[in-house]
Amino acid sequence: MKSRTLCAALLLAIFPALDAPYRVALPGYRYEFPRDFFAHPEFQTEWWYTTGNVKSADGRAFGFELTFFRQAVSRDELKHGTWDVRDIYLAHLALSDLDGGRFYHSERVNRSGPGIAGVDPSNGKVWNGNWFAAWKNDGTQHLTAQSDDFQFDFTLKPEKAPVIHGENGVSQKAEGAGRASYYFSQTRLATTGTIVLQGKQFAVSGLSWMDHEFFTHQLGADQAGWDWFSIQLEDKTELMLFILRHKDGSVDPFSAGTYVDVAGKSVHLRATDFSLQSQGSTWKSPATGATYPIQWSVSVPKLGLALGAKTKLAQQEIIGNTKVTPSYWEGAMEFSGTRGKTTINGVGYLEMTGYDHALGKE
């Protein structure tokens, strides 16, 4: 899911797409790696989304986000010039200094131009300016980015193969053929590297999660937003869960999730298989006025899982810079609870959208 649809809305508002025969996500797609780490220009929208929780040797905790978006605006085959716009590339960068109590974020929008931004499978790279993600054939990823306040450089090594979400190869988000995405994740990436924050360097290690989605249509008009969780448990299992919220507050039946066992085998979860419930603790943004629930309960009865979710840092909102850019909350989370009678803990990320205003069309 994620805030990628927000960025698609922004880019289409600035650069309306021309009519073109973009493909839609339908059952039957054959995933192939490393090919599918990279661009799918036959689809209108695509993103690469990496988040993680890392700590320094002395225990200082950080969360991070580095995301790249490609939005097609034309498939005019006559456009071959360096500055012709066929795709727009947007990127978001964020660092949560969880123990220092500060949140930093930055964004950028570029056309491809003469190497300014793009996707190049020949060198395994997705980039926007000097922010980039680069993959090796085995799925190992190198991330590097910098802003005025911080920079980081990470190596992410997969402990499991990529996981395909949904059923029959598609993650359905609304009623109707093609209201879906092709969606896979690297759910457990052992992460090492450095963070430089306001001139001080930290050697860190931890876990990251990478999502890649590509599609042409996705949300329905009556869907207001979503709440999305990535959860990495200490027993080396993972969960991805999302609920789609209607404008009347009800939960859409196309809400779904995926459970990944120790060996990397995945199980699709339907909306009836789990529950995500806010628990009363909220944070109100002074910038947007949105009120976000920042404490949750997570229950998956068929797995015997009952978890509480909380964050060390209430302010992890990424604020849109224009009236057409929705704001959203994307932050590092801690999980604790039980699997059956056994206590279990974990880390992950939570994304909440549609709290400042509904995302669906009026």
CA-based radius of gyration for the chain = 19
How far apart (Å, rounded) are the C-alpha atoms in residues 66 and 62?
13
Q: Quick check: is 362 in a domain?
A: no
Q: What is the mean pLDDT of residues 148-164?
A: 97
CB 223 within 8 Å of CB 360: yes
Confidence of residue 80 (pLDDT cuts 50, 70, 90): low
Residues in CB range of 274: below 8 A, 6 or more apart? 241, 257, 298, 299, 300, 301
Report residue 85's pLDDT band, with 50, 70 and 90 as the boundaries.
Answer: confident
Q: How far apart are CA 144 and CA 69, in angstroms?
A: 16
DSSP H helices, the chain, are 4-14
The proportion of the chain whose per-residue pLDDT surpasses 70, expressed as a percent, equals 88
Q: What is the mean predicted confidence (pLDDT) over 253-264?
A: 97
pLDDT value, residue 358: 60
Q: Is residue 171 a part of any domain in this protein?
A: yes
Q: Specify the pLDDT at position 14.
A: 42
pLDDT in tens, 11-56: 444 444 444 578 999 999 999 999 999 999 999 999 999 999 999 9
Q: Please give the DSSP secondary-structure letter assigned to residue 320.
A: P
Q: Which residue has the tokens 């994620």?
A: 2
| Residues 245-252, mean pLDDT to the nearest whole number | 86
Is the pLDDT higher at 324 or at 254? 254
Residue 317 in this model has a pLDDT that exceeds 90: yes
Segments forming the whole domain that contains residue 207? 4-24+33-352
Predicted confidence (pLDDT) at residue 197 exceeds the cutoff of 80: yes
Cα dihedral across residues 337, 338, 343, 349: positive or negative: negative
Q: Does any domain span residue 358?
A: no
pLDDT for 74 equals 75
DSSP code per residue over 194-245: EEEETTEEEEEEEEEEEEEEEESB---TTEEEEEEEEEEETTS-EEEEEEEE
Would you say residue 361 has pLDDT above 70?
Answer: no
Asked if residue 173 is part of any domain, the answer here is yes
CATH of the domain at 301: 2.40.370.10
Instruction: Give the Cα separation of 43 and 88 in Å (integer).
Output: 13
Residue 142, SS3? strand
Query: Does residue 107 form part of some domain?
Result: yes
Task: Tell me the C-alpha distance between 152 and 131, whole Å.
Answer: 10
Domain count, the chain: 1
CB atoms under 10 Å from CB of 142, counted, come to 16
Report the range of poorest mean pLDDT among 122-136, 181-195, 217-231, 315-329: 315-329
Band of the pLDDT at 321, cuts 50, 70, 90?
A: low
pLDDT at 104 over 50: yes
What is the rounded average pLDDT of the residues 51-71? 97
Confidence class for position 86, pLDDT limits 50, 70, 90: confident
**pLDDT-based confidence at 248, cuts 50/70/90?**
confident
What pLDDT is stored for residue 113 in this prediction? 87
**Mean per-residue pLDDT, 110-124:** 93
Q: Is residue 346 part of a domain?
A: yes
The whole model's pTM is what? 0.92
Q: Is 357 part of a structural domain of the chain?
A: no
Q: What is the mean pLDDT of the chain?
A: 90
| Residue 326 CA from chain centroid, whole number | 15
Do residues 145 and 151 touch, judged by C-beta distance below 8 A? Answer: yes
Inside any domain, residue 359: no
What average pLDDT does the segment 256-264 reach?
98
* Amino acid in position 246: H
Mean pLDDT within 286-315: 96
pLDDT, tens only, 161-175? 999 999 999 999 988
